[in-house]
Chains A and B, each alone.
Chain A
Amino acid sequence: MSAKNWPLWEIFVRSKNGLEHRHCGSLHAADSDMALENARDVYTRRNEGVSIWVVESKHITASNPENNGELFEPAQDKVYRHPTFYDLPDEVKHM
Chain B
Amino acid sequence: MSEEQIRSLERQFDERIARDEKIEPKDWMPDKYRKTHIRQMSQHAHSEIVGMLPEGNWITRAPSLRRKVALLAKVQDEAGHGLYLYSATETLGISREEMYEQLHTGKAKYSSIFNYPTITWADMGAIGWLVDGAAIINQVPLCNTSYGPYARAMIRVCKEESFHQRQGFEIMMKLANGTPEQKEMAQDALNRWWWPSLMMLGPTDDVSVHTEQSMKWKLKRKSNDDLRQQFIDQTVPQAELIGLTIPDPDLKWNEERGSYDFGEIDWDEFWQVVKGHGPMNKERMKARVGAWERGKWVRDAAMAHAEKKRNRKEKKAV
Contact = CB atoms under 8 A, between A and B. Distances in A.
State yes or no: do A and B touch (Cβ within 8 Å): yes
Interface residues of A, number: 21
A65 B303 contact: no
A25 B82 CA distance: 12
Contact of B153 (A6, A25, A27, A65): A25
Interface string A15-35: 000000000111110110010
Interface stretch (B24-32, B48-56, B130-138): B24-32
Nearest to A57: B90
B299 A65 contact: no
Contacts of A65: 24, 26-28
B80 interface: yes
Contact of A2 (B95, B160, B302): B95
Nearest to A32: B306
8 contacts: A1-B97, A5-B95, A5-B303, A8-B90, A26-B87, A30-B302, A42-B80, A46-B160
A6 B303 contact: yes
B140 interface: no
A66 B27 CA distance: 8
B83 interface: yes
Interface of A: 1-2, 4-6, 8, 24-28, 30-31, 34, 42, 45-46, 62, 64-66
Contacts of B96: 5, 28
B65 to A, nearest CB: 19
A1 B300 CA distance: 11
Contact of B83 (A4, A6, A27, A64): A27
A30 B306 contact: yes
B302 A26 contact: no
Contact of A25 (B24, B87, B302, B310): B87
Contacts, number: 51
B275 interface: no
A31 B302 CA distance: 8
Given A2-B95, A2-B97, A31 B309 contact: yes
A29 to B, nearest CB: 8
Contacts of A45: 76, 80
A26 B90 contact: yes
Nearest to B77: A45
B303 A4 contact: yes
A45 B28 CA distance: 35
B80 A6 contact: no
Nearest to A64: B26
A42 B97 CA distance: 19
Contacts of A66: 28
Contacts of B306: 30-31, 34
Contact of A4 (B90, B153, B300): B300
A5 B292 CA distance: 12
B305 interface: yes
Nearest to B153: A25
B217 interface: no
A11 B21 CA distance: 25
Interface string B286-313: 0000000000000110110110011000
A8 B302 contact: no
